[in-house]
Amino acid sequence: MRTSHYLPFLAAPLLAEASSILFNGGTIVAFNRNKNALEVIRDGSLLINDDRIVSVSAGAPSASLLRKDTEVVDAKGKIITPGFIDTHKHGWQTSFKTLASNTSLLEYFSRYGEFAAAGLLTAEDVYIGQLAGIYEALHGGVTTILDHAHHAWSNQTAEAGLLASVDSGARIFWAYAFHNIPSTPPYLVPEQLAHFRALAGNTTLLRSSPTSLGVAYDAWDPAASTATERQAVVALATSLNVSVVTTHTVLGPWGLTNTPSALLAAGILNTSIPVVLSHGSFLSPTDAQLLRTVNQYVSVTPESEFHYGHSNPTSHRFLDQAALGVDTHFTYSGDILSQARLWLQTARLRLYEAVLERWELPVNNPMSATQAFLLATRNGGLALRREDLGVIAVGAKADVVVWDGDAPALLGWNDPVAAVILHASVGDVESVVVDGKWRKRDFKIVVGDGKGKGGYEAVKKRFVESARRVQKKLIETKSPVPVKGDVWPYSGYLVGEAETVDVLRGEGTGYGTTFLKA
Ligand SMILES: *[C@@H]1O[C@H](CO)[C@@H](O)[C@H](O)[C@H]1NC(C)=O
Ligand SMILES: *[C@@H]1O[C@H](CO)[C@@H](O)[C@H](O)[C@H]1NC(C)=O
Ligand SMILES: *[C@@H]1O[C@H](CO)[C@@H](O)[C@H](O)[C@H]1NC(C)=O
Ligand SMILES: *[C@@H]1O[C@H](CO)[C@@H](O)[C@H](O)[C@H]1NC(C)=O
Ligand SMILES: *[C@@H]1O[C@H](CO)[C@@H](O)[C@H](O)[C@H]1NC(C)=O
Ligand SMILES: [Zn+2]
């Protein structure tokens, strides 16, 4: 493997040193495996030894579990939940932040997507963007991310995103995107597969981090790739038993395919490897049923699907096979709490409207805060086939979030699940532990082992320099976008225009502007 021409931020390996943390006196949103349901424990204790939760109880933990090095943390007045799980993200895009506040999916493909951005970002840009993006997520209480890593435009940019994931200390399912990049020289799938094997064979790369290697591939349909290429991707995934396989599925008039049946035909939907279909927009009843049969999940990314317009018209019909994701955090919220809240109220609206359309009055509420909480936590774990993620239970991985129960928005809370899902904001996340290690503490991100020089300030400086460079290039590259009347080649449907609203009185007062400078 080639040495990269940029410096990873943390030269020192993540510390593998043992740690033990006891949270005392908090309200814990635990998971009862026997009842298959959340269980709230008030005035409880939560003990972490190394990377695992070893005790969750109403009183003190058994003394035999305590260690000499156990750090006791007063959690009185706090709410402790599992970390949130983001099942779809592209961490490298952080440097595009605010550039696309009013974009659409068609414009995205031409300006910001994996093919449009090839050549725009160096390995350094990918590394520091990925790191800053993960810190944003950690700050907001996300502890696990399935990263559809389509920053693989060269061996160097691919490796940079992986190294940043490892350095972040978060639990990243880093899914290398195999795609044919028409650069000079072209960067093609066979070379990427060889590179993936080299990364997987590098025993020092992942160190003791919770990051693992997965596969992302968006060409499962016979029309989108050769059988040889698809078979090579499947052979790689199965022979290396990767931690996850993921793909973008956007059906309906978008015609971006990767249907569950195409994945089944390619031989990847029904192995022991978890498969996560992002969006699943316009999934049919048959598609959803197939996912149930093979127990694979969709990552619903509500804010993305509303912002860009892929939409999610049927997604409230298969929430039993769904988890939540953020997708392109450069355009909107990078946290899962926002997604859970947005989706909860969307599902409610849709199901209320069905009653109102009959000119009847809904008497009950169609979706509960508890269900939104499960989508944001445990269902993410199930999507990754990880019973030990997204729950607070003995034996689960120690990925937990401590919420400031005395924050103004939460004050007076009774139901801790409702407090988090409907009242808290990411600013109320006081601490975050991943794999038994502090990743946010007293409202501040912990960089590396927390003892390294520069800390978050150094990351910030390095990221902002990169973002200015990348943004200037992107703004100056005025890539053409499809216009009304064009035919979208993936589906044969026409490109149309959305009606725009007007917040100023009068006709044609205009769309207004966005505020960007090159
Ligand atoms: C990328 O990595 C693969 C696997 O190590 C290697 O075969 C290939 O030559 C590398 N590409 C370049 C341009 O170095
Ligand atoms: C493994 O990856 C690390 C980090 O990129 C690199 O320094 C090292 O040379 C690699 N080892 C091998 C055997 O390729
Ligand atoms: C693949 O790895 C998972 C754990 O990540 C393990 O449970 C499973 O048994 C492995 N499957 C095969 C076929 O080795
Ligand atoms: C999935 O594989 C199992 C055996 O491993 C088989 O019984 C089942 O029919 C398969 N499901 C589908 C939808 O092909
Ligand atoms: C976004 O807004 C700008 C004006 O500020 C406009 O030029 C551009 O066409 C808009 N983009 C879309 C996709 O609507
Ligand atoms: Zn995506």
DSSP 241-310: T-S-EEEEEE-GGG-----HHHHHHHT-TTSSS-EEEEEEET--HHHHHHHHHHT-EEEE-HHHHHHHS-
Euclidean distance between CA atoms 452 and 445, whole angstroms: 13
Cβ contact 176:142 at 8 Å: no
In a domain? residue 467: no
Q: Cα of 103 to ligand 5 centre, how many Å?
A: 7
Structure tokens at 39: 């269980």
pLDDT, averaged across the chain? 94
- C-beta of 272 in contact with ligand 3 (< 6 A): yes
Strands (E), 167-239: 171-178, 212-217
Cα(first)–Cα(last) distance of the chain, in Å? 36
Cβ contact 376:420 at 8 Å: no
Domain shared by 250 and 310, yes or no: yes
pLDDT band at 5 (very low <50, low <70, confident <90, very high): very low
Residue nearest to atom 5 of ligand 3 (CA): 243
The CATH number of residue 245's host domain is 3.20.20.140
pLDDT band at 8 (very low <50, low <70, confident <90, very high): low
What are the residues whose beta carbon lies below 5 Å from ligand 6 (ion)? 327
Q: Cα 227 to chain center, whole Å? A: 30
Domain shared by 379 and 417, yes or no: no
- C-beta of 339 in contact with ligand 1 (< 6 A): no
pLDDT band at 517 (very low <50, low <70, confident <90, very high): confident
- C-beta of 464 in contact with ligand 2 (< 6 A): no
In a domain? residue 480: no
- C-beta of 203 in contact with ligand 2 (< 6 A): no
Domain shared by 66 and 124, yes or no: no
Quick check: 13 pLDDT over 90? no
Average pLDDT over residues 141-164: 98
pLDDT band at 504 (very low <50, low <70, confident <90, very high): confident
| 444-484 pLDDT per residue, tens | 999 987 887 789 999 999 999 999 999 999 998 888 899 99
| 171-208 pLDDT per residue, tens | 999 999 999 999 999 999 999 999 999 999 998 999 88
Q: What is the pLDDT of residue 505?
A: 84
Domain shared by 354 and 419, yes or no: no
Domain shared by 110 and 245, yes or no: yes
Cβ contact 167:208 at 8 Å: no
Q: Cα of 43 to ligand 5 centre, how many Å?
A: 52
Cβ contact 178:217 at 8 Å: yes
Q: What is the pLDDT of residue 429?
A: 98
State the amino acid at position 356 in one-letter form: L
Domain shared by 238 and 356, yes or no: yes
Q: Cα of 317 to ligand 6 centre, how many Å?
A: 21
Quick check: 7 pLDDT over 60? no
State the amino acid at position 146 in one-letter form: L
Q: Which of 333, 362, 383 is the last residue of a domain?
A: 383
In a domain? residue 429: yes
Quick check: 214 pLDDT over 50? yes
- C-beta of 226 in contact with ligand 3 (< 6 A): no
Domain shared by 68 and 90, yes or no: no
Cβ contact 143:378 at 8 Å: no
Element at 494 (helix H, strand E):
strand 493-494
In a domain? residue 11: no
Average pLDDT over residues 145-173: 98
Residue matched to tokens 């025993």: 203
Domain shared by 43 and 98, yes or no: no
Q: Cα of 446 to ligand 3 centre, how many Å?
A: 32
Quick check: 12 pLDDT over 50? no
Domain span at residue 229 reads 84-383
In a domain? residue 59: yes
User: Which of ligand 5's atoms lies nearest the C-alpha of 107?
Assistant: 13
Q: What is the pLDDT of residue 24?
A: 97
Q: Which of 340, 365, 383 is the last residue of a domain?
A: 383
Phi, psi dihedral angles at 40 (to 5 degrees): -95, 125
- C-beta of 514 in contact with ligand 5 (< 6 A): yes
Residue matched to tokens 């899914």: 175
